Amino acid sequence: MYNQTEIIKDTSELGADGELVINMGPQHPATHGVLHLVVTLNGETIKKIEPHLGYIHRSIEKMCESLTYRQFIYVTSRMDYLSSHINNLGCALLIEKGMQIEVPDRAKYIRVILSELTRIASHELWLGAMAMDLGAFTPFFYAFREREMITDIMEDTCGARLTMNYIVPGGLMYDLHPDFQKKVKAFITQFKSKVTEYEDLVTNNIIFQSRTKGVGILSAEDAISYGCTGPVARASGVSCDIRKIYPYEVYDKVEFDEVLETAGDSFARYMVRVKEMNQSIRIIEQLIDNIPEGDFVGKTKNVLKLPKGEFYTRVETARGEFGVYVVSEGGTTPHRIKFRSPGFSNLSVLNHISVGSMIGDLMASMGTLDLVIPDIDR
Amino acid sequence: MFLKEYITDVVTGVISLLKGMRKTGYYFTHPKEIITEQYPDNRATLLMSDRFKGEVVMPHDANNEHTCTGCTACELACPNGTIKVVTKFETSPEGKKKKAIDALVYRLELCTMCNLCIVACPSDAIKMAPNFEHSVFDRTKLTKVLNQPGSKIRKGIE
Amino acid sequence: MFSLEGITTNVQDWLLMKFNPTMALAIECVIVILLSISLFALLGLVLVLMERKVAAHIQIRLGPNRVGPGGMFQTVADTLKLIMKEGLVPDKADKFLFNLAPFVVMMVGMLLLAPIAFAKNFQIWDISIGVLYISSVSSLSVIGILMAGWASNNKYSLIGAMRSGAQIVSYELSAGFAVLTIVVLTGSLQISEIVNAQQNGWWIFKGHIPAVIAFVLYIIAVTAETNRAPFDLAEAESELTAGFHTEYSGMRFALFFLAEYINIFIVCAIGATLFFGGWMPLHIGNWEAFNHLMDYIPSSVWFMGKTFFLIFLIMWFRWTFPRLRVDQLLNLEWKYLLPISLFNLLLVAVIAILGWHF
Ligand code: SF4
Ligand code: SF4
């Protein structure tokens, strides 16, 4: 075990051969949160990256063990706060699966639409933040303009902008806002007209391309062996979209493509996310006019009790596979709970893909891994 | 051949940069596109979504009556102990003893706006208010008693 | 008509009348120093505000709008805040160099003001090797940055300073070559002569394509030299937090901040002088009426207008482009800008010898 002075000494003095050890974070503009990277440099070249975690650990899993099945869902919004809706959905699905609760079709449709909106919002934020990491400030504001429309929709329907907690076991907390469809359609129109803007400002920009092409290459084998999921793995050509492989809700009824790229570099990861936004729009367009009438919540008992046993569900968040694993003793609270968060595995490749590249490349690789620190450090 | 590649490199690069500049230039010259809200100035016209979860309130009608029966369902539903229902026994005119609330203590600083209490309440006695300006200088001000002083339960609510 | 020229001659005559020549010179020096310091302060305030406004409007925001009408006094308030802040010096910093560095950077900016012609006959020092002086003095600012980076005893600062060293040294070359093309066309190093040579048309119009290329190269190179995005690697806030001035706070930080804007002003002023005819009004061929009309606009307005146009251009770059990586930055210079500028210089030499320019 280290004591504190040793840590400071350890990370602040020159290493062997004049290596420079710098602490990026926990307060650093590019780590977007409290990630602490101990980076060993040789000049500008990265020799080693060690992520240090624990700065925002809230022991959410332990906390969930003392909450009832209705209550613990809202806590998961605080993990990957950009996909909070999808996290909630994962937990609700687990309970519905365990207790065989029938979910009305209307709720299923709405859940999917909101999930896709969440995904777009998350990708928009990521796009802006990553462009900012690479030194372009302006796309951030343009991306936020579109994201703002989604948060407004969320605010109307769910009552909150980020931590919605709109999903309850068996359906939804309350019905859609009457304006929902109109606003979503307005958003789709706006989004489609503004997509070219990102292309002009970011995608086709020669500086952006040279900063990201061939940077942080992750091979398909490595992606699998590190357990990467989501856009990170799909950019390396690994097909892993839960929505396609284990379709939940109504994903088997809609048409969409799993976006795959083969290059595995930062630019491929960028392209996957940008194309995914378009696919999400496609899903929403198919569903928005066909939301069936009916109940928004199914019949559930007042007190939920999961039968004795082990349960696992997975959903595709904006960052990859989010898994919920619950061991139940038959009581009203989970006996043990474990979340499989996509960010943790995605972060673990950071060292692998950045060794030998430059500090500037680290920003590109880290940006395109799309890390949300509270998701890594639960 | 090399020279040709070199020149196309330069030209395509410059064109891509110019395209970006055209976009930002467009926004610079079109102040109508500005989307910022002048927040403290536009308080009067600020439109909050009617469902916005800002804080839990208990609506009272003109006779200072609410519909809370003191059933403590909300207290049980709350994941983090934000609500404490303090009950008392009231004697009705007929001499029957009846449970009623003394105080519904709500601690805003603990609340996560998860809405579970509202859903749990059987008599719709509490609801979310779209008020978001909560900052105070003293933390104790955030602990509120939701039922108004002297308020009573509305007739006919069991 | 309002003219700065008259004022300077009047002041000089009056001083010579009252005092002996040495004394008069000394007083003039003091006046010039005071003037340039106040110009610095004013420019800093105006340019920072302008940058924030430009950035805001590009980013569909409003920008500062609370202090004073339209946020006009925002930068004044910021400066007051910075003055009142405590200036921390890190524990193991080299105190002397740490304190000296911001002043070195500022001093370079001040020295560069000397040969700039702000208006007709309004120039501090019309030195015969003006252009040479500018390119030699401007390269000194890297010393201040290196000093700051080294003395801070901070690894981010050190990396930032080293980056900026590599950057400024390389971009000096193409900036120099771009300037040389104009020198070749004019045949003189003196600023006043360069301006006078553009009497009947600015070099950017008269010099054919090579002058345009030289101008583009110049703008790119000076953007890099002044450490502005997309070449702001020395600060690179997402990588190095704040680069060479990470450890600076309070007034010392303000000096660095100010120096950045002063440097932008100066390089843009030089650019305006070389390519856009400095204070020369826009003259088109023999449209007498139009030319006369243009003459009515005071020369100082012409100069400032051109300079601020170039400053706007540089700000526009900053808020549009992502940052380059350090090796790409050097690639750009050595593989693209330098060969192009060498070739361009050759072209200009041919044009100048054959007298193809107007
Ligand atoms: S909104 Fe949630 S946290 Fe707040 S009082 Fe109700 S149940 Fe408790
Ligand atoms: S607010 Fe509703 S749930 Fe809470 S005690 Fe009153 S009636 Fe019961």
Of C198, C215, C217, C210, which is closest to residue C358 (Cα–Cα)?
C198
CA C257 to each of CA C42, C44, C242, C252: distance values in angstroms, whole numbers, following the listed order: 13, 8, 11, 9
Residue B40 CA, ligand 1 centroid: distance in Å: 28
| Phi and psi, residue C280, nearest 5° | -65, 130
**pLDDT over 70, % of chain B:** 94
| The pLDDT of residue C174 | 84
Rounded distance, CA A219 to CA A28, Å?
A: 29
pLDDT digits (tens, 9 = 90+) for C296-345: 777 778 888 888 888 888 888 888 888 888 888 888 888 888 888 888 88
Residue from B66, B98, B123 whose mutation best tests the ligand 2 pocket (most atoms within 8 A of CB): B123
The arithmetic mean of pLDDT across residues C283-289, rounded, is 71
A191 CB contacts (<8 Å, ≥6 apart)? A120, A146, A149, A277, A281
Which ligand does the CA of A67 lie closest to? 1
Of chain B residues 34-63, which have a CB less than 8 A from chain C? 34-36, 38
Contacts C321 to A, Cβ<8 Å: 135-136, 205, 207
Query: What percentage of chain C reaches a pLDDT higher than 70?
Result: 96
Cα–Cα distance, A84 to C136 (Å, whole number):
58
Between chains, do A29 and C229 touch, taking CB under 8 Å as contact? no
Provide the pLDDT for residue C1.
43
- Mutate one of A74, A81, A142, A198 to test the B interface: name it (highest B CB count within 10 A): A74
Ligand number nearest CA of B78 is 1
Q: Which of B24-38, C81-95, C227-241 has the least mean pLDDT?
A: C227-241
Looking at the CA of B108, which ligand is closest? 1
Q: Give CA–CA dist A352/A355, Å, rounded.
A: 6
The CATH number that domain B51-151 falls under is 3.30.70.3270
Residue B123 confidence (pLDDT): 84
The per-residue pLDDT for C53 is 86
CA–CA dist A353, A365 (Å, integer): 8
**Which chain C residue has the Cα nearest residue B7?**
C336
Confidence of residue B93 (pLDDT cuts 50, 70, 90): low
| pLDDT exceeds cutoff 50 at C39 | yes
For A74, the closest of B23, B49, B114 (CB atoms) is B114
Taking the centre of ligand 2 as the mean of its atom positions, its distance from the CA of residue B128, in whole angstroms, is 14
Q: Answer whether residue C70 shows pLDDT above 70.
A: yes
Q: Where are the alpha helices (DSSP H) in chain C?
A: 4-18, 21-58, 74-84, 95-113, 130-138, 141-151, 155-186, 191-196, 203-206, 208-225, 237-240, 250-275, 288-296, 299-318, 326-331, 338-354
Helix (H) or strand (E) holding A40: strand A36-42
Atom 3 (ligand 1) nearest CA: B111
Question: How close B79 gets to chain A, by Cα (Å)?
Answer: 6
Quick: pLDDT tens for B132-145: 888 889 888 888 88
Residue of A nearest to C157 (CA): A22
Residue contact C59–B27, C-beta within 8 A: yes
Please tell me the predicted confidence (pLDDT) of residue A320: 86
pLDDT of residue A3: 53
Which atom of ligand 2 is closest in space to residue B73's alpha carbon? 3
B151 lines ligand 2 (CB under 6 A): no
Closest by CA to C267, choosing from C210, C308, C319, C326, is: C308
Residues B103-124, mean pLDDT to the nearest whole number: 86
Chain C CB contacts of B40 under 8 Å are: none
The residue-averaged pLDDT of C261-284 equals 81
Contact A61, A52 (CB under 8 A): no
Which DSSP symbol is given to B153? E
Chains that touch A (3 or more CB pairs under 8 A): B, C
Q: Answer whether A31's CB lies under 8 Å from A18's CB.
A: no
Query: Tokens 């062996």 label which residue?
Result: A225
- Its pTM surpasses 0.95: no
Binning pLDDT at 50, 70 and 90, where does residue C5 land? low
Under-50 pLDDT residues of chain A:
1-2, 7-8, 10-11
Task: Name the token pair of C7.
Answer: 């004022």
Identify whether the C-beta of residue C149 lies closer than 8 Å to the C-beta of residue C236.
no
Q: Which residues line ligand 1 (CB under 6 A)?
A: B 56, 77-78, 80, 82-83, 111-117
**Rg for chain C (alpha carbons), in Å?**
21
Q: Where are the domains of chain A?
A: 4-52, 60-341+365-373
H or E segment to which residue B101 belongs: strand B97-107
- Establish if B7 touches chain C: CB-CB under 8 angstroms: no
Rounded CA-CA distance A205/A193 in Å is 19
Q: Where are the domains of chain B?
A: 2-33, 51-151
Please judge whether B35 and A152 are an interchain contact, meaning their C-beta atoms are less than 8 angstroms apart: no
The CATH class, in words, for A60-341+365-373 is mainly alpha
CA–CA distance from B24 to each of A137, A201, B1, C318 (Å)?
11, 8, 35, 11
Rounded to 10°, the helix C299-318/C208-225 angle is 60
Of B17, B34, B38, the CB nearest to C60: B34
The answer to whether C221 touches C171, Cβ cutoff 8 Å, is yes
